[in-house]
Structure 1
Amino acid sequence: MNNDGLRSDFYSALPRITSFDDLCHASSFTAVPEDWMVGVSDVVNSTVEVANGRYKTVNMVGAAVISAQINAIGKRPFPFVFGGDGATFAIPPEQSQDAETALCAVQRWAQDAFDIGLRAGLVPVRDILAAGFKIGVARYQASDGADYAMFNGGGVSWAESGLKSGVYGFDPAPVGTVPDLTGLSCRWSPTQSKNGTILSLVLQPVGGVDDAQFTKVAGQAIALVQNLERGGHPVPESGPGTQWPPPGVTLEAHASKGIGSLGSNRLRILFETLIAWVLFRTGWTVAGFNARHYARVTGRNSDFRKYDDGLKMTLDCDPQTLSKLRELLEDAQSKGLVEHGLFEQDQAMMTCIVPSVMTDDHIHFIDGASGGYTQAAAMIKDRKRIQM
């Protein structure tokens, strides 16, 4: 992990890594400047919310954290990772007040709109380093139009533990505060597995394990899934499917509530999605918008695999590959190298941030449609409780 100095533009200057395999090497990551802040968030009782069928709402709240930061910070790139039931990001110190304001507003919105509690806070990188942890970041080029941040070093996990224990965190903004969630949407239909199961994989290093030992296991897991069609990408090359009305219309109406009433926003979204549905079905191009091109780019721009102090993947997986993955990870876990969770479901779903449908820089967060990452992480927690 090399250090690139204490520059506010340090993330903008990072090279884009084009091979996901290269992220198995610590040299691909650069230390986050020590005067920066790490934003962490987590839906309270997310496992219970998912069990109650609110997995799409949980995902929407997690993605809203990122959307609010993008709109608060402006056009300067910054690193962020979607985690299913929360999000992580890093910012320079001069942006900390705007970041805090946006986090507190999302907390209030989640509570008022969905009765969901959201923990959120900013953790100084200096605190992470003082605790004996590292935090590195890499910039992975998923497609020509989109790139995603990846974190390693254990620092994010330490910050999340501090958030959950109450060492760090903010109170929600006053009642009635609404975040700017412009661009946040969830209009695509869930994607059905073609190969057998949509697999949500969470792989974490055991505390004290050498980075090289963990990345070796992660690299073996990545190599296994390369045998799947398109590396297990759960979204077809032609893009995700559409239906009308879209399943997330009410959630998106809540996200845009700041610019109108819930009812009027819902009607607006229904009208927009009806036009889009016709364009997707017919292939017509209207006012320069090519719906089928947009759908293809959506698949390419999605984050179906990522590093977030561990490896996370949402895969369209066949039974043979799943069996080999399970064998690999159970063996590594028995040796005290990793903790893992593998959760199976029938569909994947997507939550999106779309600044404009006319450009190819829209980004799309993928998770399993029955709780995905939240359920896989819960398996790790349950296993640890049993062992205590």
Structure 2
Amino acid sequence: MSVSQDQSAADGRDDFYRAMPVFRGFANLMDPSLYRPVPDGWLIGVADIVQSTKAIANNRYKAVNMAGAAVIASVTNALEGRDFPFAFGGDGASFAISPQDADAARDALAATATWVKEDLDLSLRVALVPIEAIRAQGLDVRVARYAASPHVSYAMFSGGGLAWAEAAMKRGEFTIPMASPGAHPDLTGLSCRFSEMPAERGLILSMLIVPASADSAAFRRLIEDVVTLVERSPGAGRPVPSSGPRMRWPTPGADYEALAQRGGSLFVRRLSVHAWTLFAYLLFRLNISAGGFVPQIYMQQVVENSDFRKYDDGLRMVLDCKPELADALESRLAAAAAAGTARYGLHRQDAAMM
């Protein structure tokens, strides 16, 4: 154990999330007993891409996705790999950190905002919100830990605090200014290598459901109904093929991966990315094991670990499903919206991206 890890264990910054028991069975996610409030003094990080819908409409989905993932990568590296609860939303991210990690996270967010602006030509809003400010509104941030597989777990958030923090950020509150021009966060480990995954069961359905009223019991019933419908479908709607996502070379996100790297000219970084991804592609293509890396096992874990469903004050899912299931979900959600229970968004498409 390194000195930094010893110190983090001693001051308790890791204990809250690391010691949290995991739950299995996604259908249980609305059980309030699974969630624990973040400790006093903690901060809630939020980030989102300004006008992300327009950027996606302009076929810049990978850039938007890369920017959102960069938030988590930069904070993870700034915290030296310590566990902390986070949720990645495609065009942004949310997380919770201890006060001891606030300065490191703030610097990482500021540098990421600059990098996103300069290298991806997108605008990234970032903020750190004290949990006390959220609780002053009668809200909270509570965390559960869901085991998607034996190998990985993901944070789930409830309490209404994340939604309030994001709204406050969009009002200009608690925001963090961009770092100086040329700032580059540590994005080690960030990549974008898989190709699109065409629907195998009919269509890809992207779904977002958030509460529209204070009737938490009605919203809980709605989410439980939706999850039950999905759980009964083949593969629980997982959009990642059982054989894993397709790989090709050159990888579709090679330029973004080169931009994420530090040091050297962009030309040299691109050559490095292309060389490394060609090596990886050949390992997968020819099913060659190297240095303890077994392509089949890795791809199996990619499938099992995929976070195609999450809860962060609202249910987000990306499903590969039959049109009949999409119609049933839309009917149930339309009824909930008419009753004032929830607001929702649905989008049908031919393929999913990872």
Q: What's the CA shift for 1:61? A: 0.3
Residue 253 of structure 2 aligns with an amino acid whose one-letter code is G
Q: Write the mapping of 1:1-388 to structure 2, written as runs, cut at 5 A.
A: 7-8=12-13, 9-210=15-216, 212-256=217-261, 258-350=262-354
> SS in structure 2 opposite 1:137?
strand
CA shift in 2, pair 1:236/1:208, >3 Å: same
Amino-acid identity (%): 45
1:5-34 CA distance string (max 9 Å, x none): x95221111101111111121111111112
Deviations 1:266-296 (A, max 9, x none): 1111111112222212212122221222111
- Residue 4 of structure 2 corresponds to none
Q: Which amino acid aligns with 2:218?
A: Q
**Does the 8 Å contact 2:86/2:93 carry over to 1?**
yes
The superposition leaves residues 140-183 of structure 1 with CA deviations (integer Å, 9 ceiling, x where unpaired) of 11112211101111100000000000012011000111000000
Q: Contact between 2:213 and 2:340, CA under 8 Å: does it hold in 1?
A: no
In structure 2, the gaps of 5 or more residues are: 1-10
Any conservation in 1 of the 2:196–2:351 contact (CA below 8 Å)? yes
The 8 Å contact of residues 276 and 291 in structure 1, kept in 2 or not, is answered as no
Distance 1:316 1:226 in 2: 12
Q: Which letter does structure 1 place at the counterpart of 2:52?
A: S
CA positional deviation for 1:346? 1.1
Distance (whole Å) between structure 2 residues aligned to residue 7 and residue 127 of structure 1: 22
The residue identity in structure 1 corresponding to 2:249 is: W
- Describe the SS at the equivalent of 1:10: helix
Letter in 1 for 2:298: Y
Secondary structure of the 2:18 match is coil
Secondary structure in structure 2 of the residue aligned to 1:242: coil
Distance 1:342 1:317 in 2: 13
| 8 A contact 1:150–1:306 mirrored in 2 | yes
- Equivalent pairs counted in the alignment come to 343
The answer to whether the 8 A contact 1:304-1:314 is kept is: yes
CA contact (8 A) 1:136 1:153 kept: yes
Per-residue deviation, 1:37: 0.1
- Detail structure 1 runs of 4+ shifted over 3 Å in the superposition: none
- Report SS of the residue matched to 1:236: coil
Conserved? CA contact 1:189–1:243, under 8 Å:
yes
For 1:289 and 1:135, the matched residues in 2 are separated by 38
For 1:78 and 1:164, the matched residues in 2 are separated by: 24
CA distance in structure 1 between the partners assigned to 2:195 and 2:234 by the alignment: 21
Deviation at 1:247, TM superposition (A): 0.5
- Residue 249 of structure 1 and its aligned partner are, at CA, apart by 0.5
Unaligned stretches of 5+ in structure 1? 1-5, 351-388
Q: Deviations over 1:155-214 (max 9, x none)?
A: 00000000000012011000111000000001111111011111110000113222x221
* Distance in 1 separating the partners of 2:197 and 2:269: 26
Q: TM-score, normalised by structure 2?
A: 0.95
TM-score for the superposition, normalised by structure 1: 0.86
- The alpha-carbon deviation at position 309 of structure 1 amounts to 0.5
